[in-house]
Amino acid sequence: MINTLTEEEFEEQRREKLLGFDIYSELAEELVLAIPRSQRNLAEPTWLAAKDEAQRVLASSAGAKYSVDLLALSYSAGANFGDLRALYPAVCDTWLMHEKHHHAYDQSPLGKTSTTATFALQGDDFATVNRMVCFGVLLGFGDLLPSVARIIEYKNPRMDGMPTLHGASGPMPCDRAHESSTRNRCAVNSTRCGAAQVQDYIGQRFRRDPFAAVGFRH
């Protein structure tokens, strides 16, 4: 888990100038409590035994999305890259846990006819996936992106502007709301579109819609 910034650190380091400390501290407090609670539940045999496959997948989905929200919020607030890098593998772990429970649901009587993707790109999940891939490149985790790609692609016949990743050198994600010039700049091989360019992409995304950084829907 990442440390919450003090007000002084926040004012000195924040990247998103429209993000206020009160909003940041409230959301960060909620997320740093919710994520470990989700992880404890999903690791507790007694809790799992009392839930069916659908309830387990809802819990794992929430944990995976909360983790990306915390990563994006921390970036916007000005967390240093060392702390963000330390957090990203833990976020990946929540995605892998969600993948596990989603597949278990699909194999159960409750979900055997389900056609729902692990992250449905036709809806709000697109923003979560877009941030996850961008931060993976920005923070230098090309080795983890194949697992992220596998999870994204599951039952997603239409990628809805999200190109398929093929290992560490795969194409970058595009924001479907961006101008075509931004799409062209970001949808390139990640060995050519490095961390600085992805940071610029994320910065433009959050400046255009600062609440995207903290997972708000408006």
Over the stretch 121-155, which tens digit does the pLDDT of each residue have? 877 788 899 999 999 999 999 999 999 999 999 98
Average pLDDT in the chain:
79
pLDDT value at residue 108? 93
pLDDT value at residue 189? 34
Q: Quick check: 170 pLDDT over 80?
A: no
pLDDT value at residue 200? 61
> Pick from 29, 18, 2, 214: which is nearest to 128 by CA?
214
Angle (nearest 5°) at CA 96 between 143 and 194: 30
pLDDT value at residue 15? 94
Phi/psi for 189 (5° steps) reads -60, 135
Q: Quick check: 197 pLDDT over 90?
A: no
pLDDT value at residue 161? 52
Reported confidence tier of residue 1, pLDDT bands at 50, 70, 90: confident
Residue 16 — left, alpha, or beta (φ > 0 → left; ψ -120 to 50 → alpha)?
Answer: beta
Burial 14-47 (b: 16+ CB within 10 A, else e): bbbeebebebbbebbeebbebbeebbebbeeeee
